[in-house]
Amino acid sequence: MEVDQKWFQKIMLPGEWLSDSHIDVILYFFRKRRIANPDVFTQKFTTTDTLFWQKVNGCWRMNQKAWNKYILPKDDILIDYAMGLYPRPSLKWSEVDVIYVPINLRNTHWVLGVVHLRSRKIYIYDSLKSINKPNGLKTLITPLAMLLPRILSAIKYYEENGDPKGDKGWDIEILNNIPQQTKEYVQYFPWQHACFVIYTIILKIVNITFFYVHVVVIVECF
């Protein structure tokens, strides 16, 4: 991936919309650090990239009418994600407890999905609740809730016993008391917020600022 001055300016300046590449780079460094320094982190985790949600959403839209008969192809890229083959570097889902998933709603707003594999639950961090009613937001996240059982079954995550709950969609919980974006950060706040969530959950760092996240990304890129 090639970047220029404008790419870095969007990270630093208020009112700028972060592209998929910005989000993917941020997540890349989280995965890279997790793999290189596993003892630093309090949580066994990995992340997807922005393409993952596109594939999940597309698969659901194409097959939802005949979902009971749908079988995930063995060569599907979603299985590669679970096997730790994509994005690079990454970890196998069988080696982690949590997966962080960037989710784009209607191509206008990012939310963060935090997938807890053992409890079969998806927690949603939404920094702009004013545009998404809870039931509507859960409907938009349904593709992920329905695809996860299929993906895990394909990699034999539950081994010989199989998934105890079969193909039943996972529970989705929209978290409350989440900081909400302001007008100044109306376009690029959502993913800054996601970075903040990951830092505070994984590293237990409370006094981190969004500016610090920006600086980390820029320094890492060089």
| CATH code for the domain in which residue 81 is found | 3.40.395.10
Q: What is the pLDDT of residue 78?
A: 98
pLDDT band at 39 (very low <50, low <70, confident <90, very high): confident
pTM higher than the cut 0.75: yes
Average the pLDDT over 86-102 and give the result. 94
- Which of residues 158 and 112 earns the better pLDDT score? 112
The answer to whether 48 and 99 are in contact (CB under 8 A) is yes
Q: What is the pLDDT of residue 27?
A: 87
Cα distances (angstroms) measured from residue 7 to each of 2, 11, 82: 9, 7, 30
Residue 124 pairs in a beta bridge with: 113, 174
Q: What is the pLDDT of residue 41?
A: 79
Domain range holding 146?
5-221
Number of domains in the chain: 1
